[in-house]
Amino acid sequence: MENIRNIYCVGRNYRLHAEELGNEVPTAPLLFTKPTHAAVPMNGNEIELPGGKGEVHFELELVLRVGQRLEPGMEPDDVIDGFTLGLDLTLRDVQSVLKAKGLPWLEAKGFKNSATLGEWLPYPGEEGLKAKDFELLRNGVRAQIGNSSDMLFSIGRLIRHIDEAYGLGPGDLIYTGTPAGVAALVDGDKLEALWGGETAASCTIKLMG
Ligand code: ZN
C-alpha cells in the first residue's frame, strides 16, 4: 500500500452498468481519482466502512498496477506490471445528491477503505485478460460477473488517455470500471472476488456507526 501514488478510476466503462444506474453511455473515458488513503488490502480481513451515510455499494473491478512510464515507441501493455481484483466502494446515496448538484464525487468515492486490493497477479496483457471472467460472490452467491472484452474503452485506450491527460508513472493504479450488478452492502457480508474461478481477494464488511 505504501508505494501507491495516483489511484485513477474509470466510471461507466461497461454499458450494462452505465444503464443500470440510469447514466448515459459515455463517448470519452470518464475518470476520477481517490486519495491513496482509500487503499486497503482485501486478503481475508475485516474492512470497516461508513454505516450512517446511506447505501454503500460494491463495484468489482480489474485493477492495473503501473510499473513504468509510457515512453515513445512503447505499447500501453508495456507499462503494466501486475493486476488484481478490487472494489471501488461507493456511497451511492451521497453520490446521487452530489451528481444532482453538480458537485465533485470525493465524498462518495474517496472515503477511507473505499479502494480494496486483492493479491497482485502477473499481467497477461490486454488480450490475455479477456481469456478469463472476473466474479464477485456475496455470502457465496454470485453478485457480479464481467469480462474485460466488454469494456467500452479498452485498456490500451485508457492508458494512453490517462497518460496524455493526467500523467502516468510507477506506483499508479487504474480501477478499470465495474460490470452490472452493483448493490448495497450489509453489515457482515462476506465478499469473495474470483479470477477465472480462483479466489483473488476476500473480506468481511463491517459497517460502522
Ligand atoms: Zn467503479
Domain range summary for the chain, segments of one domain joined by + = 7-45+55-131+148-182
Comparing C-alpha atoms, which of 30, 32, 45 is closest to residue 117? 45
Residue identified by cell 512510464 is 69
pLDDT value of position 137: 98
What's the CATH code, domain 7-45+55-131+148-182? 3.90.850.10
- Residue 15 neighbours by CB under 8 Å, 6+ apart: 25, 150, 152
Task: Look up residue 137 and give its DSSP letter.
Answer: E
Q: Exposed (0-12), middle (13-18) or buried (19+): which is 37, by Cβ within 10 Å?
A: middle
E strand segments, the chain = 7-11, 30-34, 39-41, 43-50, 56-58, 60-66, 80-87, 90-91, 115-117, 134-138, 141-146, 173-175, 183-184, 190-195, 198-208
Cα(69) to ligand 1 centroid in Å equals: 24
- Residue 54 neighbours by CB under 8 Å, 6+ apart: 91, 92, 93, 94
Q: Give the CA distances from residue 146 to residues 59, 62, 77, 158, in Å, rounded to whole numbers and listed in that order.
A: 11, 9, 20, 18
Cα(158) to ligand 1 centroid in Å equals: 14
pLDDT value of position 25: 87
Cα(14) to ligand 1 centroid in Å equals: 10
Cα(60) to ligand 1 centroid in Å equals: 7
Residue identified by cell 443500470 is 20
Cα(71) to ligand 1 centroid in Å equals: 28
- Residue 105 neighbours by CB under 8 Å, 6+ apart: 32, 95, 98, 99
16 sits in which H/E element:
helix 15-20
Residue 75 contacts residue 49 (beta carbons within 8 Å): no
Cα(177) to ligand 1 centroid in Å equals: 5
Residue 94 contacts residue 108 (beta carbons within 8 Å): yes
Cα(175) to ligand 1 centroid in Å equals: 7
Comparing C-alpha atoms, which of 84, 74, 35 is closest to residue 201? 84
Cα(197) to ligand 1 centroid in Å equals: 21
Q: What is the pTM of this model?
A: 0.97
Comparing C-alpha atoms, which of 126, 131, 133 is closest to residue 195? 133
Cα(61) to ligand 1 centroid in Å equals: 7
Cα(73) to ligand 1 centroid in Å equals: 30
pLDDT value of position 18: 87
Cα(20) to ligand 1 centroid in Å equals: 13
Tens digit of each residue's pLDDT, the chain (209 residues)? 779 999 999 999 999 998 998 888 889 999 999 999 999 999 999 999 999 999 999 999 999 999 999 999 999 999 999 999 999 999 999 999 999 999 999 999 999 999 999 999 999 999 999 999 999 999 999 999 999 999 999 999 999 999 999 999 999 999 999 999 999 999 999 999 999 999 999 999 999 98
Cα(124) to ligand 1 centroid in Å equals: 22
